[in-house]
């Protein structure tokens, strides 16, 4: 490509044309770079992924699927989508892949549409026990349109109660059973859930949004051999662009594709589809497999170090990319801890713990994740340091102390730049 070829992003032009938005881009980059990013659902995409998102693929409308579009001129974007589909199927060993959903929640809407109708019974993990809004919350479409029965974790060990799950499934005869969560730090026994689904004749749906990147990196077992359908986001540990994806058995391919388009959305965002293709290729490398394993080691180190600071790791620790910490021993709520850490340059979130006595907006816990810090190259020593910084930030309401901690945070992150020149 010659130096004269127009490709896409031109920050100098943006700065001249719209300095207000250009300033936001710069300030957000600074925020990401200087603060500690411990939100379990966030990560830093590669430069190659970012390049696709700002490309001229954004200009193309492509309702339909490769070779079967409703608009002409799709021969080039067809190539990008076909590459993404082939890479997804190869990476996960899937029979079918749909790469069009705009988000994980959009993918979940499509799953409901493919296999159920309003009023059907669906069994899913309770939101207070670690599930997701789209798993039946009363404020979400899933809780309003479907009869959602919930299962949760045992009170003694905070692990999924498979006996309760089976008993509920036998009693309610759900059309579909969903496994997957947003704040469950342990592994899920997909073989056991498959057996329950077969016993009651239910579709097995796995919402793998949080852990699919660990599956891609061969760091944890895959749900794909067991599930009828697997939905997920393409960011988080997977480290792709913001978006969604669905994997399914071949027998469900037509139902899934019809549910995505025209059932749930119009044209896909082709720049994002191309970004997904790039990320999937990155995930197929030995370097990514090492990254996925390092994410888990870092999460386990961070959880153990926070326990040494007097907090308690829910479920006895973590086997994934996140840790859910019960912080009642600190004497502050999750909401207060979130605010104090934010003042100290530590970005994480308050989170309910199982059987939490506090309201959802207050919480007794915090959730911390290691995908982003691991992408930056941080390891065990840094996780131990981060645990100390979190503990110190939580235990004080002194603004000067928070400012001092923020200076330490900035010194740490300066050693691990996001995007090297």
Is 207 considered catalytic here? yes
CB-based contact 364:356 (threshold 8 Å): yes
Is 236 considered catalytic here? yes
Closest CA to 240 of 68, 393, 45, 415: 45
Is 233 considered catalytic here? yes
Indicate the SS3 state at residue 277.
Answer: helix
Of 34, 42, 63, 258, catalytic? 63
How many of the other CB atoms lie within 10 Å of CB of 81? 24
Is 61 considered catalytic here? yes
- Secondary structure of 302-319 as H, E, C letters: HHHHHHHCCCEEHHHCCC
Give CA 214 to chain center in angstroms.
11
Of 81, 149, 161, 207, catalytic? 207
Of 52, 116, 233, 234, catalytic? 233
Of 60, 87, 194, 236, catalytic? 236
Q: Which residues, including other chains, have CB under 8 Å from residue 52's CB and lie 6 or more apart?
A: 241, 271, 272, 274, 275, 277, 278
d(CA 11, CA 123): 48
Of 242, 249, 328, 395, catalytic? 242
Is 31 considered catalytic here? no
Is 166 considered catalytic here? no
Of 61, 162, 293, 404, catalytic? 61
Sheet bearing 229-233, strands edge to edge = 96-98, 244-248, 229-233, 203-207, 176-179, 121-125, 147-151
Residue 264 carries which DSSP code?
Answer: I
Indicate the SS3 state at residue 56.
Answer: helix
By annotation, the residues acting in catalysis are 61, 63, 207, 233, 236, 242
């Amino acid at each position: 490509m010659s130096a004269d070829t127009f490709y896409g992003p031109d920050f100098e032009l943006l700065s001249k044309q719209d300095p207000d938005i250009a300033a936001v881009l710069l300030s957000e980059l600074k925020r990401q770079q200087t603060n500690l990013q411990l939100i379990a659902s966030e990560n830093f995409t590669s430069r190659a992924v970012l390049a696709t998102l700002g490309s001229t693929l954004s200009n193309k409308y492509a309702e339909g699927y490769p070779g079967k579009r409703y608009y002409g001129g799709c021969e080039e974007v067809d190539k990008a989508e076909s590459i993404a589909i082939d890479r997804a199927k190869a990476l996960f060993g899937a029979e079918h892949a749909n790469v069009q959903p705009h988000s994980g929640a959009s993918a979940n809407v499509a799953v409901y549409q493919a296999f159920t109708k309003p009023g059907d019974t669906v069994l899913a993990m309770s939101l207070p026990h670690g599930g997701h809004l789209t798993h039946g919350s009363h404020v979400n479409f899933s809780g309003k349109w479907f009869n959602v029965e919930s299962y949760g974790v045992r009170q003694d060990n905070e692990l999924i109660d498979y006996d309760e799950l089976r008993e509920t499934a036998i009693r309610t005869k759900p059309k579909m059973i969903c496994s997957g969560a947003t704040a469950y730090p342990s592994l899920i026994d997909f073989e056991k859930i498959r057996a329950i689904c077969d016993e009651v004749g239910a579709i097995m749906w796995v919402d793998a949004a949080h852990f699919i990147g660990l599956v891609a990196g061969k760091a944890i077992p895959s749900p794909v051999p067991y599930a009828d359908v697997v939905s997920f986001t393409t960011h988080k540990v997977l480290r792709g662009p913001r978006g969604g994806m669905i994997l399914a058995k071949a027998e469900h391919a037509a139902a899934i594709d019809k549910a995505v388009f025209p059932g749930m959305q119009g044209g896909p965002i082709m720049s994002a589809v191309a970004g997904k293709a790039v990320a999937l290729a990155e995930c197929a490398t030995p370097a990514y497999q090492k990254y996925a394993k390092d994410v888990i080691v870092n999460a386990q180190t961070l959880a153990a170090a926070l326990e040494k600071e007097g907090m308690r790791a829910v479920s006895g620790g973590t086997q994934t990319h996140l840790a859910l910490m019960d912080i009642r021993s600190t004497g502050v709520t999750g909401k207060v801890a979130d605010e104090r850490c934010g003042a100290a340059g530590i970005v994480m979130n308050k989170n309910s713990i199982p059987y939490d006595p506090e309201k959802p907006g207050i919480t007794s816990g915090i959730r911390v994740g290691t995908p982003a810090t691991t992408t930056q190259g941080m390891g065990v020593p840094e996780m131990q340091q981060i645990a100390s910084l979190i503990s110190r930030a939580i235990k004080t309401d002194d603004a000067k102390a928070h400012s001092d901690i923020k200076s330490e945070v900035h010194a740490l992150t300066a050693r691990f730049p996001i995007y090297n020149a």
